[in-house]
Amino acid sequence: MYKLAFHNFIRSRSVWVALVLFFTAGGISIFIGRQFLLKQEAAIQSVTQSQKEHIERNVKYIKNEFGLLMYYLKFAYIHKPAPIAALAIGQQDVNTNIQSLTIRTLEAQRYDTDLYNPYNLMTGNFDLSFVIICLFPLLIIAFNFNVLSSEKEGGTWPLVKLQSAQPLRFIFQKLSIRFIVVSALLFSLLGLAKCIIGIPLDAAFAAFSLMAFLYILVWFGVSFLIISLHKSTSVNALLLLSAWVLLCLLTPGMINNYVTARYAVPEAYNTLIKQRDGYHTKYDRNKDSTVQTFFQYYPEYKKYVWDKPSFNYIWFYAMQHLGDEEAGADSKAMHLKLKQRSQVSAAVGLLFPTTHAQLQFTNIAHTGIQQHLAYLDSTARFHEGLRRNFYPKIFGDSAVESENWARHVPAYFNAPVNINWLELILPMLTVGVVLFGIGVLVFKKVERGSTFNTNN
């Protein structure tokens, strides 16, 4: 019986058309993800090559002034996207993955954005997470909206009720067939993505797959709840599409609007102005006080003679560093504000399957704002490392050749993989169970009501 129903469903031409369409859309999204990775890879190679040439050229011209050389030299620090980032590009097209930094004021450099076409950013990436979050529900809706109503409208429903003791079981059977088909589509796309992009079979990939699986389960729950109301085909279509509009368009938009309006980030503008004023106004101040303030942060450099008659770089780099120190509080406040924004979004996002799935996907793929903040924080440590390496050589006026320049290849940021399984699964599972639970209650109630009515 089940097998027969399965064959019956699969035999339908429109089902195949829909599946082929979605498989193609999924394939395209995987391809787009791969393009994204390739572009990042090309940028990394390009920066590796140009850093080498850049250092070689400058070292050749500026042979005997270490401090002047370091004014120009740039060192790349790269947040290399993991292969799984191709499935959920998230904010990674907005936030730059490569920082190319001099040892001068960091706050003047680390928020520099990449060059991009804002029209592309606005329409967004057609990646697999988009296909799963926004398009899969439409397939599920298309498969399910008339599961019951078509029987009723075709006049076969009384027959079904007559033949099977539990009409609910009949509906579940039909839904489960569709669920198997949609899951098969999902897993074949994930398999395809694994092969094309070369995603390792690790915890992140498992988490991504699990999340996607639970997400489609939730949409079957939504479908079931609407079906259980025993409405007509048209009304079902309307209700389900309204649910889709609400969950995929309106709710995320409303959360985002709220966060934008509620949490402005003036700290960013303050950082921008303070880093400039912090450094530049030192030209008009007493040199001694500038250098002494610098020595408070770095007492180990006190031993260098700073008031040499020639242009002295201790003073210059002290001024640069004080730009960072004076903007530091605002920069920290800005990061705090951004964390707050991300926490509010995540907390509200938890309540809705679409937003929760999106935030979890970007979290798993390391393409969310938390990862970018971690990268920015780590950039400060990278910058500090560079300065500590070069300060003694500048202040001691070392020979330029004494540095092993070949050593200065781009460095990489490795984000710690951090998957909170409970937070991942629990909200989805709860929503799913609640939807199905209410659905069963409603179904039984409406069924009872209609039986009662016919008896009358």
Partner 1 sequence: MNNVKLIARHFLKTVWKSKVVLPIYMVWLALVLYAVATGYATYTKQNELRKKYQAKARQSWEANPDKHPHRMAHFGSFAFRIKHPLSMFDNGMESYTGNAVFLEAHKQNTANYSEASFSTGLLRFGEISEAMLLQTILPLILFFLGFNAVAQQRENATLKILVSQGAAFKQIIWGNSLGLFAVGIIFLLPVLATTVTMITLKGNAGAASFIRFTIIGLSAIVFLWIISVVAIGVSAISRTSRSALLSLLGVWLMLAIVLPKTLQAIGNYLYPAPGKIQFQAAVEEDILKQGDSHNPDDVHFKKLKDSILRANKVDSIQQLSFNYSGFIMQEGERMSAQVYDAHLQRLLTIYDKQNRLSYNAAFINPFIGFKNITMAFSGTDFAAYRHFQQQAEAYRYDLAQTMNVLQMKYISNRKLSITDKPYSIDKSHWTSFPDFKYQYQPVNAVIKQQWVALVALAVWLVMSFLLINYIAVKAKVI
- The reply to whether 341 sits near partner 1 by the rule CB under 8 A is yes
- The reply to whether 351 sits near partner 1 by the rule CB under 8 A is no
- The reply to whether 347 sits near partner 1 by the rule CB under 8 A is no
| CA 27 vs CA 23, 128, 186, 446: distances in Å | 6, 8, 11, 41
Q: Which residues contact 221 (CB under 8 A, 6 or more apart)?
A: 431, 432, 434, 435, 436, 439
Which residue, 40 or 228, is less far from partner 1 as judged by CB?
40
Which residue, 275 or 301, is less far from partner 1 as judged by CB?
275
Which residue, 51 or 228, is less far from partner 1 as judged by CB?
51
Interaction residues for partner 1, span 236-275 (CB under 8 A):
237-238, 241, 245, 248-250, 252-262, 264-266, 268-270, 272-273
Q: How far is the CB of 300 from partner 1 (least distance, A)?
A: 28
Q: How far is the CB of 216 from partner 1 (least distance, A)?
A: 18
Q: Give the interface segment with partner 1, choosing from 28-36, 208-216, 323-331, 420-428 (CB under 8 A).
A: 28-36
Q: Give me the phi and psi of 412, to 5 degrees please.
A: -120, 145
Interaction residues for partner 1, span 97-156 (CB under 8 A):
98, 100, 108, 111-126, 130, 134, 138
- The reply to whether 369 sits near partner 1 by the rule CB under 8 A is yes
Interaction residues for partner 1, span 283-322 (CB under 8 A):
283-284, 309
Q: How far is the CB of 73 from partner 1 (least distance, A)?
A: 12
Site size toward partner 1 (CB under 8 A) is 92
C-beta of residue 326 within 8 angstroms of C-beta of residue 278? yes
Q: Can you name the residues that pair with 100 across neighbouring β-strands?
A: 76
Binds partner 1 by CB under 8 A, chosen from 4, 61, 416, 454? 61
Which residue, 163 or 234, is less far from partner 1 as judged by CB?
234
Q: How far is the CB of 62 from partner 1 (least distance, A)?
A: 7
Helix-, strand-, coil-residue percentages of the chain, each rounded to 5? 75, 0, 20
Cα 257 to Cα 264: distance, rounded to the nearest angstrom: 11
- The reply to whether 362 sits near partner 1 by the rule CB under 8 A is yes
- The reply to whether 46 sits near partner 1 by the rule CB under 8 A is yes
- The reply to whether 189 sits near partner 1 by the rule CB under 8 A is no
Which residue, 65 or 447, is less far from partner 1 as judged by CB?
65
Q: How far is the CB of 155 from partner 1 (least distance, A)?
A: 15
- The reply to whether 354 sits near partner 1 by the rule CB under 8 A is yes
- The reply to whether 323 sits near partner 1 by the rule CB under 8 A is no
User: 438 is written with which tokens?
Assistant: 């209410």
How far apart, in Å, do the first and last CA atoms of the chain sit? 33
Cα 324 to Cα 282: distance, rounded to the nearest angstrom: 13
Q: How far is the CB of 9 from partner 1 (least distance, A)?
A: 18
- The reply to whether 223 sits near partner 1 by the rule CB under 8 A is no
Binds partner 1 by CB under 8 A, chosen from 221, 328, 368, 427? 368
Which residue, 47 or 190, is less far from partner 1 as judged by CB?
47
Q: How far is the CB of 254 from partner 1 (least distance, A)?
A: 6
Cα 117 to Cα 379: distance, rounded to the nearest angstrom: 25
Which residue, 188 or 256, is less far from partner 1 as judged by CB?
256
Degrees to nearest 5, angle at CA 64 with 59 and 65: 90
Interaction residues for partner 1, span 67-106 (CB under 8 A):
72, 88, 90-91, 94-96, 98, 100
- Convert 334-363 to b/e letters by CB count within 10 Å (16 or more is b): bbebbeebbeebbebbbebbbbbbbbbbbb
Query: Which regions of 79-205 does DSSP assign to beta strands (E)?
Result: 98-101
Which residue, 264 or 441, is less far from partner 1 as judged by CB?
264
Q: Which residues contact 368 (CB under 8 A, 6 or more apart)?
A: 90, 91, 342, 359, 362
DSSP string covering 252-283 = HHHHHHHHHHH---HHHHHHHHHHHHHHHGGG
Degrees to nearest 5, angle at CA 63 with 61 and 67: 105
C-beta of residue 275 within 8 angstroms of C-beta of residue 326? yes
What single DSSP character describes residue 415?
P
